[in-house]
Amino acid sequence: MKKLMRLEETSVMTDFELDLDGADKTRTAMVERLRASGAVDDDIMAALVLPAVPDWFLSHPFQVVADLDELNGSDSAAEVPDKWRDGLPSRIEPGNQQQHFLLYQRILTSGTRDEQMALIDREYLVENWPALAREIHPSVTSVWEQRFPSLRR
């Protein structure tokens, strides 16, 4: 069903069509393609198809390690990969909680399992999970907590 909406920008009126049916078909096709690829774990796929999950996650699904013991990151200084450097220095020193939080948010939301294993410190994650969980998308939080009930508080 197409709806005609009016968008008011200062003194200019613009008519545009909002194609909700087309958007729904596109999202459905994205889900089907992702499911058919077999590249996404079942629990992550279940989280991705919830209505509140942004389409961005369908084109860039997040990953989660299989076991917290796989997390071998250091609690000392961290080298920040280029893809997450926006707003962060190339190296985060220990004790800079704000920068560590930002890096962990990015790794949890868009990092591969290998990146998570190399960069996330298990103890730091467990200790700071309640605060981190409030800052990442609920679908990501949900899968991490389903896989690792010890993170729930």
Q: What is the pLDDT of residues 82-108, one digit of tens each?
A: 888 888 888 888 888 888 889 999 999
- Residue 10 binned pLDDT confidence (cut-offs 50, 70, 90): very low
Sign of CA dihedral 64, 149, 57, 131: negative
Residue type, 91: R
Domain ranges for the chain, please list them: 63-151
Q: What are phi and psi of 88, to 5 degrees?
A: -125, 150
pLDDT at 20 exceeding the cut of 80: no
Task: For residue 35, give both structure tokens.
Answer: 């499911």
Between 121 and 57, where is the model more confident?
A: 121
Query: Considering the entire predicted model, what is its pTM?
Result: 0.78
- Average pLDDT of the chain to the nearest whole number: 85
Closest by Cα among 65, 10, 51 to 138: 51
